[in-house]
Structure 1
Amino acid sequence: MQDITFKHTLPVQLRFNDIDALGHVNNSVYFTFYDLGKARYFEEVKRSPINWNDADLVIANVNANFLSPVFMSESIAVQTATLSIGNKSLKVVQRIINTDTKEVKATCETILVGFDVATSSAKEISVEWKEAISFYEGRELCK
């Protein structure tokens, strides 16, 4: 993952049922952390709660890398940033870190596409999203 400044960090509380038989967080649970991070990130970007019944962004692709196991005794957080915005898609990067040591435990790249709920079809990313994300990130993200 290239050098990125993460302005959004969300502490995550580990639960007993997150842990698998090997004593570390099960790999499927990481995606729950990433989803929670994206939801809170977009709410912060928009400065308001997101109406998920009228979502105009949907996930098209997710790629995750598991770098080091997370154990129940660790304090972790998920960090989220938008890397780029195209006409019909945007790329979000995330990582899970140990908040005490700052060790990166896992990384994730997600492609989201613009979506029209009424027609169930792809659409361009709205100017509102482009402006809000670029403003939040403090840099021009549009290709």
Structure 2
Amino acid sequence: MNFRHKTSIQIRFKDIDALGHVNNANHATYIESARVSYFDEVIGTDIDWEKSGLILARIEIDYKQPILLHDKLLVYTACTRIGSKSMELSHRLVKEAHGAETEMASGKSVVVTFNYAEKKAIEIPAEWVTKLKAYDGFSI
């Protein structure tokens, strides 16, 4: 899988738990930041969030190693599936040190295109599908 999109994460002191590592709940926040950055880059920032947009339907995270306060953390994101109203993204949380990357966690999220006024899922705009396919280099 090609993880073209990369988001740098600033670990905050408040992210650290009593055991001295990033609390597991913060991984979802890091993935959220990466997801927003991914869509800004791939789809663009002209989404009218008052009318429609994306909502998170599902998230899963596999924890592999503890993340520490001073770790340089990156989140790689790629779209791995596009349906008619939803898409799946894969995420890799990696620590960068001494020119090497170590996977600390991985995850998947499913987002749904949603009309807020009508409170229902809607078809993914064709323009988005084209951009997603071109960016991540796969056919559906």
Q: TM-score, normalised by structure 2?
A: 0.91
Structure 2: unaligned runs, 5 residues or longer = none
Deviation at 1:137, TM superposition (A): 1.2
Change (3 A) 1:33 1:52: farther
Aligned length: 138
Name the counterpart of 1:122: 121
Q: Could you tell me which residue of structure 2 aligns to residue 69 of structure 1?
A: 66
Percent identity for Structure 1 against Structure 2: 32
Task: Decide which structure has greater strand share.
Answer: 2
- Distance in 1 (alpha carbons) for counterparts of 2:19 and 2:101: 23
Distance in 2 between residues matched to 1:25 and 1:40, nearest whole Å? 21
User: How far apart are the structure 2 equivalents of 1:97 and 1:49?
Assistant: 30
- Per the alignment, in what secondary structure is the counterpart of residue 102 of structure 1? strand
2:80 is the alignment partner of 1:83: yes
Q: Is 1:18 paired with 2:1?
A: no
Tell me the distance in 2 between the aligned counterparts of 1:98 and 1:59.
25
> How has the CA–CA distance of structure 1 residues 102 and 51 changed in structure 2, closer, same or farther, with 3 Å as cutoff?
farther
Measured after TM superposition, the shift of residue 55 of structure 1 is: 4.0
| TM-score computed with the length of structure 1 as normaliser | 0.90
**SS of residue paired to 2:84:** coil
Report the aligned-residue RMSD.
1.4
**For residue 93 of structure 2, what is the amino acid of its counterpart?**
I
Task: State how far apart, in whole Å, the 1-side matches of 2:92 and 2:54 are.
Answer: 20
Counterpart CA distance in 1 for 2:96 and 2:48 is: 30
Q: Does structure 2 retain, via aligned residues, the 8 Å contact 1:42–1:50?
A: no
C-alpha distance after superposition, 1:73-127 (max 9, x if no partner): 2111111100010112110011110122311101111111121122000111111
> Secondary structure at the residue paired with 2:34?
helix
Question: CA offsets, 1:22-81, max 9 Å, x none?
Answer: 000000111110000000000000243544434422111111111110011211111110
Where structure 1 has 5 or more consecutive residues not aligned to the other structure, the ranges are: none
